[in-house]
Amino acid sequence: MAEKKLSIFEHYLSIWVLLCIAGGIVLGKLAPEVATTLNDFSIYQVSIPIAVCLFFMMYPIMVKIDFSQVIKSAKTPKPVLLTLFINWGIKPFSMFAIAYFFLGYLFKDFLSGTEILKNGENVELWRSYIAGAILLGIAPCTAMVLMWGYLAKGNDGLTLVMVAINSLVMLLVYGPLGSLLLNINAMPVPWKTMLFSVSIYVALPLIAGYFSRKLIIKYKGINWFNDKFLHWLTPISISALLLTLVLLFSFKGEVIINNPLTILWIAIPLFIQTVFIYAIGYFIFARWLKLSYHDAAPAALIGASNHFEVAIATAVILFGLSSGAALATVVGVLIEVPLMLMLVSICKHTCHIFNECHLDYPHCKTRALGQEALVKLN
C-alpha cells in the first residue's frame, strides 16, 4: 500500500494562506466592491456566496468520518475519554484565559480601536480578536488530525473513532459553550444566530457527508471512495477555504497594513494554547493513564489541533466577514500546519517515555531491550 502523504495544498497550507493575505489585500485596494457585493448578496444576513464556500469547506471533512467506528470506542475507552475531557473540560476555558491575558491585557494597547459588527454594534477590536480565539478553542480536531496521527505512527483506527465522537459532541455543545464564553467576553451573541451557524456549517455538512458516504460506498465500493472520491475532494475543500480567506483579507487589508504586528499578537496566545494543551495531554494525562504511545500520540494531537473550518464559518456568520473575530480564526489556520508538524516530530522523538511503543527507532529499541532484561531478571 502506498504511503500516505500530505497533498500539496495541505503540506504548504501556511504558504497558501500567506498568498491569500497578499491577494486579499490587493483585491481590497484594487476592487473593494467585489467582496462587498458578494457579502451583501445574502438571505437572513447570511451571505450566499460565502455560505457556498463554507459548505464545500466543511463537507469534504465530514464525509471522511466513518461513524460506524464509534462502537469500537468501548474497547479502548481511556484515550477517547481523555480527548473528551481535554477538548470540552479544559481547552475552551484555557483558551479563554490565555487569550484574555494576552489580547485583553498584555497586548491590549497594541490592539486599540473599535469595529462595527454585522448587527450594527460597536465593540473593541481586542474583544473581537478574543472572540475568534474562543471560537478556535471550542472547535477541536479537524479531519487533518487523521494525517497528524498517521505521521506520528499512531493508532489510525482509534484516531478515526476519536474524531467521530468529538464531532458528534461538538454538534451538541458547541453552541451553548460558545455563547457562554463569548458573553463573558462581552461580545453580542444572538442564540438564534449561533444555533443557525451550528446547523448550517456543522449539522448540514455532517448529514450530507454521512448519507453520501453510505451511498457512494454502496454503489462504488470503499476502495473507489478512498482512492478516487476523497482524492478529488481535498483540493475542493482547501480551495473553498482559500477563496473565503481572500475575501476576508480584502476587508482586513487596511488593518494589516496599518498594524502589521496584529497577526503576531494574535498568533502568540494561539501558539501557547496549542502547546499547553498538547503538553498536558501527552506528557501528563496520557502517561498517568498508562496509554501506549500509539494511543497517546493521536489523543494529544486531537486536543492540540483546531477545527479552524468550523471556527471561521461561525465567526463569519456571527460577526461578519470583515470582523476581527474572523481574522483571528484565520491566524489559527496560518500557524496550524507548521505547529502540528512540530508536535508530530516531538511525539516521535519522545515515544520512549511510554511503556508500550513499537516504533523502529534506536531509543525505542533501547527501552524495549531494557524491559526484556528486567523480565528475565524477575
The pLDDT tens digits along the chain (378 residues) read 445 555 666 667 668 877 887 888 888 778 777 766 766 666 655 567 767 777 787 787 778 777 666 666 567 789 989 999 999 999 999 999 999 999 999 999 888 888 877 767 888 899 999 999 999 998 887 666 777 887 788 887 788 778 778 877 887 888 888 888 888 877 766 556 666 666 666 678 888 888 999 899 988 898 898 888 887 887 777 788 788 778 767 766 666 676 678 889 999 999 999 999 999 999 999 999 999 898 999 999 999 988 877 788 788 878 877 788 988 988 887 788 789 889 988 998 898 888 777 666 666 644 544 454 444 544
Q: Where are the beta strands (DSSP E) in 125-218?
A: none
Whether 80 maps to a domain, the answer reads: yes
Q: What is the DSSP letter of 56?
A: H
Q: Are 16 and 238 in contact (CB under 8 A)?
A: yes
The secondary structure element, H or E, covering residue 116 is strand 114-116
Position 3 in a domain: no
pLDDT for res 192: 63
pLDDT at 83: 93
Task: Classify residue 58 as exposed, middle or buried by CB count within 10 Å of its CB (0-12, 13-18, 19+).
Answer: buried
Structurally, how many domains does the chain consist of? Answer: 1
Report if residue 239 sits inside a domain: yes
Q: Minimal CA–CA distance to 330: which of 252, 213, 272?
A: 252
Residue 2 maps to a domain = no
Report yes or no on 305 lying in a domain.
yes
Determine, yes or no, domain membership for 77: yes
Domain encompassing residue 39: 8-377
Alpha carbon distance 69, 203 (integer Å) = 19
Per the structure block, which three cell numbers stand in for 204? 448540514
Residue 1 lies in a domain: no
Q: Whole-model pTM?
A: 0.75
What is the pLDDT at residue 289? 93
3-state secondary structure of 223: helix
> The CATH number of the domain where 194 resides is what?
1.20.1530.20
Contact status, residue 49 vs residue 41, Cβ threshold 8 Å: yes
φ and ψ at 361, to 5 degrees? Answer: -115, 150
Instruction: Look up residue 325 and give its amino acid.
Output: A
Cell of 228: 478516487
pLDDT score for 373: 47
